[in-house]
Amino acid sequence: MKTPILDREYAQLLVAVQPKVIETEEENEFYLTEVTKLIQLGETISPAQERLLRLLVNLIESFEDLHYQLKSATPLEILTELVRDRGLKQKDMLVVFGSQGIASEVLNGKRGISKAQAKALGEFFKVSPSVFFEN
């Protein structure tokens, strides 16, 4: 079987960028920068540049899949992050929990989130109530 002949432009791009399996953060950042440059070409991107772009994206995805796996968050961690992210206080959660005591217990992890509360939290934060269910 014959080896496919790379066109001159693609070969030059490969020499300039030197894509390889990404092993470090620095290499990942370098290739992310190269991807950004290629994306910024928009409709003027050549077939060779588009081919390099696909290669770099595959290399970056492989590296990030291996090194950036998200850990599962508990319903309490999700709730805490949503409250913090929106700059809310415990008293702002009274509309969901109905009382200061229950809000305090849930937000401090002393009480679980009920299904009714999960539904109310989903409506309040505009997210799926399922994020507040324990798996």
The pTM (predicted TM-score) of the whole model is 0.52
Provide the b/e sequence for 118-131 (b: ≥16 CB within 10 Å).
bebbbebbeeebeb
**Cα–Cα dist 75/132, whole Å:** 4
> At 2, is the pLDDT very low, low, confident or very high (cuts 50, 70, 90)?
very low
73 pLDDT above the threshold of 80:
yes
pLDDT in tens, 11-39: 999 999 999 999 999 999 999 999 999 99
Q: What is the CATH number of domain 75-132?
A: 1.10.260.40
Domain ranges of the chain: 8-67, 75-132
Judge residue 78's burial from the number of C-beta atoms within 10 Å of its C-beta, 0-12 exposed, 13-18 middle, 19 or more buried. Answer: middle
> At 3, is the pLDDT very low, low, confident or very high (cuts 50, 70, 90)?
very low
